[in-house]
Structure 1
Amino acid sequence: MAEIAAGVVAAEQVVSTTVQAGAAGYAVGKPSNGLSATFSQLATASPDGTSNSLARSNHSLTVVGDRAYIFGGQTDAGKLATNHVHSFALPTKDKAQADYHLTPAIALAEGGPVPQSRRSHSACALGGRIAVFGGVDESGSTIVDPAIWLYDPQKSAWEATLPEPSTTAPAARSTASLFSDSEDLLLYGGKDGHGTPLVDVWIFVFSTRTWARLPDAPASTTSAAFAGGSLYLISATDALSSALHHLSITIEAEEPPSWDTVQFPTNPLTPGPRPRENGGLLHVTTGFGRQYLLYLLGDRQPTSPSESAEAASPPQWSDMWSLQLPASHVSVERTTTFSEAIKPAKIKDAIRSKLGYDAGTFTWAEVDVKPPGDLAEPEGKVHPGPRSSFGCDVLANRKDVALWGGINAKGEQEGDGWIIQLE
Structure 2
Amino acid sequence: MAEAAGVLYAIEHLVEGGLALAKGIYDPTLPLKATIQSITDVDLPRVHHSISEVKGRAYIFGGKTHGDQLADNAMHMIILPSSGIESTDYQRLEPTSASPPARFGHSTAVIDDQIYVFGGSDANGPLEEKGRVWVFDTDTNSWSSLDAAVGDVPKARVWAAATASAQPQPEHKRTDEDVAPQLPPDPAKMVPEPLSPSTYGTLVVYGGVCKGEESATPELWTFDIASRTWTKLSSPPATYPSNTSLSVTFQDNRLYTVSGNSTHYLDLSFSSPSYTNSTTTGPAPLSPWCTLQPLTTEPNQLTSESTVALIPITTGQGRNYLLHITPSVLSTLQLPSSATTAASLKDRARDAISKNNATGEWSEVRYFNAEGVLIQEGQNGRGVGGRTGFGASKVKEIDGGCVLVWGGIVDGKVRSDGLLIEVEK
TM-score, reference length from structure 1: 0.75
Q: Which whole-Å deviations, capped at 9, do the CAs of 1:321-354 have from their partners, x for residues lacking one? A: 2111111233xxxxxxxxxxxx211222122112
1:227 and 2:246 correspond: no
Provide closer, same or farther for how the CA distance between residues 77 and 274 of structure 1 changes in structure 2, counting only shifts above 3 A. Answer: closer
Q: Structure 1 residue 225: deviation in Å?
A: 2.6
Q: Which of 81, 103, 106 is equivalent to 1:121?
A: 106
- CA deviations on 1:90-148 (whole Å, 9 max, x unpaired) are 101222221100011235xxxxx320000000001111011100000122344434211
Check if 1:190 corresponds to 2:208: yes
| Cα distance change, pair 382–403 in 1 and its aligned pair in 2 (3 A) | same
Counterpart of 1:33 in structure 2: which amino acid? L
Structure 2 unaligned segments of length 5 or more: list them: 1-13, 167-200, 272-282, 374-379
* Mapping for residues 90-169 of structure 1, pairs under 5 Å: 90-106=80-96, 113-164=98-149, 166-169=150-153
Compared CA separation, residues 231 and 254, structure 1 to 2 (3 A):
closer
Q: Aligned partners of 2:143, 2:368: CA distance in 1, in Å?
A: 40
Correspondence for 2:224? 205
Contact 2:106-2:121 at 8 Å conserved across structures: yes
* Cα drift, residue 212 of structure 1: 2.2
Partner residue of 2:309?
Answer: 280
Q: Within 2, Cα distance between the matches of 1:186 and 1:413?
A: 29
Q: How many residues align?
A: 346
What do residues 41-80 of structure 1 show as CA deviations (whole Å, max 9, x unaligned)? 112566xxxxxxx212100010001100100001112111
Letter in 1 for 2:92: L
Mapped partners of 1:93, 1:394: distance in 2: 17
Q: Does 1:245 align with 2:264?
A: yes
Task: Using the TM superposition, give the Cα deviation of residue 395 of structure 1 relative to its aligned residue in structure 2, in angstroms.
Answer: 0.6
Once the two structures are TM-superposed, the CA of residue 171 in structure 1 deviates from its matched residue by: 1.8
Check conservation: 2:268, 2:284, Cα contact below 8 A: no
Question: Could you say which residue in structure 2 is the equivalent of 1:394?
Answer: 394
- Assess if the C-alpha contact under 8 Å between 1:36 and 1:367 holds in 2: yes
2:219 counterpart SS class: strand
Show structure 1 runs of 5+ residues with no match. Answer: 1-9, 18-24, 47-53, 108-112, 237-241, 267-271, 299-316, 331-342, 376-380
Distance 1:248 1:218, change over 3 A: same
In the TM superposition, what are the counterparts of 1:256-405 in structure 2 within 5 Å? 256-264=286-294, 266=296, 272-275=297-300, 277=302, 278-298=307-327, 317=328, 319-330=329-340, 343-373=341-371, 384-396=384-396, 397-405=399-407
Structure 1 counterpart of 2:161, which letter? S
Residues 358 and 154 (structure 1), Cα distance of their counterparts in 2 relative to 1, 3 Å cut: same
1:273–1:321 Cα contact (<8 Å) kept: no
- Cα distance between partner residues in 1 of 2:287 and 2:204: 14
1:153 & 1:244 partners in 2: Cα distance? 33
Work out whether residues 42 and 89 of structure 2, in 8 Å CA contact, stay in contact via their aligned partners in 1.
Answer: no
Q: What is the letter of the counterpart of residue 348 of structure 1? A: K
Compared CA separation, residues 185 and 15, structure 1 to 2 (3 A): farther
The TM-score, its normalising length taken from structure 2, stands at 0.75
Q: 1:26 to 1:234 in 2, by over 3 A?
A: farther
Q: 1:235 to 1:178 in 2, by over 3 A?
A: closer
Helix, strand or coil at the partner of 1:348:
helix
Q: Structure 2 counterpart of 1:230, which letter?
A: R
Distance 1:74-1:26 versus aligned 2 partners, 3 A rule: farther
Q: How does 1:8-23 map to 2 (within 5 A)?
A: none
Alpha-carbon distance change, 68 to 16 in structure 1, aligned in 2, over 3 angstroms: farther
Provide the secondary structure at the position in 2 that maps to 1:353. helix
Q: What is the Cα deviation at residue 222 of structure 1?
A: 2.0
